Amino acid sequence: MSASAEDLNDLRLMINEPTATTYSDATLARYVEKHPLTDSDGYEPDDDDWTPTYDLNRTASDVWYQKAMTHVGEYKFSADGSTFERHEVYNQCMRAAARFGSMAAPSSLTVTVDHDYERDYQSTYWSDERRNPDSYIVNLAEDDDD
């Protein structure tokens, strides 16, 4: 797996970091490679024929969250007739993170039911009384009820 130069350039535009001063290419490549996607031919990242494809929106969201965390605790203050709202940097970073996060590729989980396990579990766990719906009474009146 390796992020292409084009992926890194696109990510740099998304995170407003045009130079490698703050984030080196190696650092950004490491972030990009954390979010592989199924390629256009349907191959998963574990497949030998997989073409490296990454979710740059999710990566950009992660980087913007990281940037926001560097501005936690900044505050608004006034001095010499001027007002400094340094906390707005944090707010802007969080908005960018949310925006890119909303455009990230959806993820899903495939659940497979093992019917043999299900049958074995039910046969040993549930008693015959609990399986019979006639033996279960909802809101049964108790002796002290009027």
Handedness of CA 8, 11, 13, 15 (dihedral sign): negative
Contact at 8 Å (CB) between 10 and 37? no
Between the CA of residue 1 and those of 13, 38, 43, 55, 146, what are the distances in Å? 22, 13, 13, 13, 72
Q: What is the pLDDT of residues 1-22, one digit of tens each?
A: 689 999 999 999 999 999 999 9
Q: What is the pLDDT of residues 104-116, one digit of tens each?
A: 998 777 777 766 6
Q: Is-above-0.75 flag for pTM?
A: no
